A and B are shown apart, each in its own frame.
Chain A
Amino acid sequence: MAEAIVLEWVLPGATTAVVTAVAGPPGQAVWGTFTGVLADQADLQAALDGRLAVSAVGVTVQGYSAELATVAGLAPSNDDIIQRKAGAWTRRTPVQFKTDLALVKGDVGLGNVENTALSAWGGSANLATVGTVTAGTWTAGAIAPAYGGTGLTSYAVGDLIYASGAATLARLADVATGNVLVSGGIGAAPAWGKVGLASHVSGTLPVANGGTGQTTAGAALNALLPAQAGAGGKFLTSDGTNPAWGTPVTGWGTITGTLSAQADLQTALDAKLAVAGGLMTGALGVVAGAVGTPGIYASGDPNTGLWFPAADTMAASAGGQEAWRIDSLARVGVNMTTLAAQFSVQSNGAARVASIIKGAGSQSANMTEWQASNGTLLAAIDAGGHMSINKAVPSSSVILNIAGASNERVDTTGNAYGIQVGLTNQLSGNLIAMQFQAESRYSGAGVTLVGVQGICSVNSGAASTANLMIGFQAQSPILNSGATVTAAYGVRIDAQNTTGVGSAWALYAGGANDNSYLAHSLLIGQTSVPASLKGGLVLGNAAAIPTGNVAGGTVYVEAGALKYRGSSGTVTVLAVA
């Protein structure tokens, strides 16, 4: 226990009650507590400075070594040599050491041998003549170039020796046949290689030596060809011995044999279409052309034919004008370039019919039909000119047959019309929806109604007071004839041509088969009839009491009383209310 020992008590009740027991080596004083720094202890610092640092051992100070201790204990005599022998250090005399060295003559350099007295050396007598060796074999190393030798000791067949340096020679090994020795340039070794015609050869080989004697291509060619003078336009040919200029002939020469023998020419011809009777086996493509220059036209008529205005569109021109075209939607237009319908026709002259549909001599089928997408007939005109509209089959007994299912005769307002004629946005002129005009204004009838009932309501439902069987209203002017209207009638009822007629009625209301009170009564200004009335005249109160006079008189009902106003304005009550 040479080091300092410090013991500390750890007592109960105190975290660490320190009672130091410091012990040094037995019998020695114990160091107290040092304060300050080491430099303040001058004597200790000096003592430390007098010693080597531990780190110096092994670096600047040799540590203890048993080998060195052995060497130190050898106690050699003068001139002795310390020698490692048999794994241990020992001291040896020079003689012993020399013996151990076992020197041979090769270990002694020439510089260590005395040679100034070689001529007197007994061995020199073996040389026949000093400076001249006439016999014997040289067995020493290669003689250096500096002494006339090569410094080389072996060669291969074909090797060349060249100076590789100021005092050295080298072997240039042989190479494959056909190579020549080419200089490497001044100061560089030569080498085997090919002769570069562009870089290693100079001069021009004359014709006599197989060359041209010229240095340009044109001159070289001329040097070999016949003289050029007067040979312009001629071709090079042979006279059988030498080349010569020949004069070309105009046109084909004579071709012998048959065409089929010229297989390539025959093949080329077979690939072409015969002008007459040729049959195309593939698609025929032509230029698109234009309206005035169709892509396909007949010989001598280049402005009439087919052409292609755009992709997927084809047209035909006649005389440089477009006649018809068909587009990608299969729409066909005649004399029309803007196709809004599947088939469009426009007359190209005011006096030219735009479209004619003509039947056969004994046409039995309809001349034309309109069908729904499922083939259902919508309208048709037969060969007799009878027309049906709305799914009716044309009939030879009906010029215009308008028919249809019952639910197709009622519009959105609930009204039903066989034919509805109306005016829309008629801002000027006469408001005439439909006009029937006889050829003679007074001698013929505009509309002739023939039958038991000329105009008859066929409403099969319950009679409605709102239904009018027929209504007439006079407006001025009635006609748009430009003629002076001398009289206007809303309704004019005459019984004319009654001669020989048993009964003639200017106005007849009622009938034997009528069973409706309302039906066979005449109502003026009234829409209902009294109970049980049948065949009577019902007058309603006048909407406005007359204040003026007419040449005859006016009968009217006022507040239920029947009154008469005469031409002088006198009002007579015919019957009280």
Chain B
Amino acid sequence: MTAFAAAARFSRGETFTVALRIAAGDLAGAICRMALKRAPGDSNPELAVLETTYLDHVDTGDLTSPPGWSGTLAAEVSETLPAGHFVMDARVEKLGVVIQTDPVAVEITERVTGGA
């Protein structure tokens, strides 16, 4: 079993929000893409792609927080996902240089309320 640096969990039908903050370096103008898959190296298409937005301050309530991106999986999208264990990473590209983050584990649990 692959060990991941961190893990996140959310329920189906729940809005899932993560953030990727730029602790060092200049990534202003870079393009960030976040996606979910079954496992690293899975050749199947990405299960879901998070909608990313660049923020001058990752924590919008803290003007001293570093810049970064927020990644959001809308509730209607997470509704379509199956429960189970997945991985997620981010791909950042600036001026042809690509940085791939380490994957983090994501567990999607079955919901109780509002289940179809």
Contacts and interface: CB of A to CB of B under 8 A. Distances in A.
B116 interface: no
B108 to A, nearest CB: 13
B63 interface: no
B23 A19 contact: no
A299 B99 CA distance: 144
Interface stretch (A1-9, A99-107, A363-371): A1-9
Interface in B9-34: 9-10, 16-27
A6 B67 CA distance: 12
A4 B26 CA distance: 9
Given A5-B27, A7-B22, A18-B6, A12 B17 contact: yes
A21 interface: yes
Interface stretch (B40-48, B77-85, B89-97): B89-97
B102 interface: yes
Contact of B99 (A5, A8, A12): A5
Nearest to B93: A1
Contacts of A473: none
Interface string A13-47: 11001111101001000000000000000000000
Contacts of A144: none
Contacts of A7: 20-23, 27, 68, 90, 92, 99, 101
A17 B17 contact: no
A11 interface: yes
B69 to A, nearest CB: 9
A225 interface: no
Contact of A9 (B16, B20, B26): B20
B50 interface: no
A5 B96 CA distance: 15
Contacts of A12: 8-10, 16-18
A17 B99 contact: no
A446 to B, nearest CB: 135
Nearest to B69: A7
Contacts of A26: 96-97
Contact of A5 (B5, B6, B25): B25
A23 B99 contact: yes
A72 to B, nearest CB: 35
B6 A4 contact: no
Contacts of A3: 24-26
Contact of B22 (A6, A13, A17, A19): A6
Contact of A1 (B17, B26, B104): B26
B58 interface: yes
Given A1-B94, A3-B25, A14 B6 contact: yes
A10 interface: yes
B93 to A, nearest CB: 10
A24 B20 CA distance: 18
B27 to A, nearest CB: 7
B74 interface: no
A23 B90 CA distance: 13
Contacts of A5: 22, 24-25, 27, 92, 99
Interface of B: 4-10, 16-27, 58, 68, 90, 92, 94-97, 99-102, 104
